[in-house]
Amino acid sequence: MHDTSDKLDSNPSHNPCPSEPHQHYKIFKPHGSLSQFVPETRKSKPLLGELAHFPAGIMAIGRLDHDSEGLLLLTTDGMVSHRVRSKKVEKEYYVQIDGDIDAEAITRLRQGVEIGIKGEKYLTLPCKVNKLEGEPELPGNGRKARDPRHGSLSWISITISEGKNRQIRKMTAAAGFPTMRLVRVRIGNIMLDNMQPGDVIELSKITSIL
């Protein structure tokens, strides 16, 4: 699965009826669920279709891997999906990392780090990275928090405009600070806001973020 895949969900729920107007949604993908409507394996993990009754032809715009959570957009319009997945639209994440990150590591992340993509070395594009003061206000995800006695944790925000396989996790690991929790909070100007895991909100349009 992916953190921020450029890959369109290959399993839309049904074929859309061309005479019907397109519909768009934002959801809070819960930790442990898959960013798809049809299972690709026999593993029993929750699917997007279990969150609500969606229209025919609905598809996820990109993906979050099953260990990641937060904002995910759905649409019945393939052209909108293609535009949102382009490198012109920013995606912002709150990332809890193992250790107290320093200025040097933040600079490395901003400038680009080398990660592995499909067995090849890849240098990530420059991006926005900032250390957060304290823990952001996010709902719990059902996982037990690590005892502080086992090591310090810190939070950063990372804003990228590309989306490689498990990119955020690979970036923080390359900088020496493995990801402990990953929450997408913004796509373009669409925010996660105060949504809770599993929430579904219909949007009047998505094109305003392009």
Element (H, E) at 175: none
Q: Which of 208, 194, 190, 166 is nearest to 91 (CA)?
A: 190
Q: Which of 3, 65, 77, 98 is catalytic?
A: 65
Q: What's 124-135 look like in SS3? A: CCCCEEEECCCC
Element (H, E) at 57: none
53: left (phi over 0), alpha (psi -120 to 50) or beta: beta
The yes-or-no answer on residue 65 being catalytic is yes
Q: What is the DSSP track for 118-173? A: TTEEEEPPP-EEEE-SS-------SPPPPPGGG--EEEEEEEES---TTHHHHHHH
> Which residues are marked as active site?
65
